[in-house]
């Protein structure tokens, strides 16, 4: 026969374990939610090393006002579930990770003509 040791008041132990678990869940969710919101609020696009190199090599210039427009459109696209849009400007084409707020690559618009862009799930045209 198996010998079990039973606590005198099992309800106390169960409730204590539940309250500790729910505290950890609330604290964990709270922290992760706060972190996600802080990242989402920043909204600033980062430029990957690859994209920055392309930008410098090909003399692509994008004004701060245009970057602001791009960031706003990326935020809108992200809200609609777009994860990797192609952003078309008059002078450039950018592939952006909306999830990471990062420009993955870019090229002058005239080089983009005739190109096939894969792994994108949306297009944003900014004039």
HSE toward the beta carbon, residue 72, CA cutoff 13 A: 8
Percentage of the chain surpassing pLDDT 90? Answer: 65
d(CA 88, CA 125): 5
Question: Residues 55-77: what's their mean pLDDT?
Answer: 95
| Counts for the chain of helices (H) and strands (E), in that order | 4, 5
In this predicted model, what pLDDT tens digit does every residue of 16-61 receive, in sequence order? Answer: 555 554 554 545 567 666 655 555 555 689 999 999 999 999 999 9
pLDDT of residue 48: 97
pLDDT at 126: 95
* Residues 54/105, Cβ–Cβ less than 8 Å: yes
Give residue 127's pLDDT: 85
Higher pLDDT pick, 1 / 114: 114
């Amino acid at each position: 026969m198996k010998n079990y040791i039973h606590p005198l008041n099992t309800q106390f132990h169960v409730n204590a374990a539940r309250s500790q678990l729910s505290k950890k869940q609330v604290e964990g969710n709270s922290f992760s939610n706060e972190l996600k919101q802080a990242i989402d609020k920043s909204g600033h696009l980062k430029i990957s090393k690859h994209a920055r190199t392309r930008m410098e090599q090909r003399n692509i210039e994008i004004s701060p006002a245009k970057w602001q427009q791009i960031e706003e459109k990326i935020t809108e696209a992200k809200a609609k579930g777009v994860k990797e849009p192609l952003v078309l400007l008059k002078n450039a084409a950018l592939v952006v990770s909306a999830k990471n707020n990062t420009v993955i690559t870019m090229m002058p618009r005239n080089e983009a003509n005739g190109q096939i862009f894969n792994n994108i799930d949306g297009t944003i045209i900014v004039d």
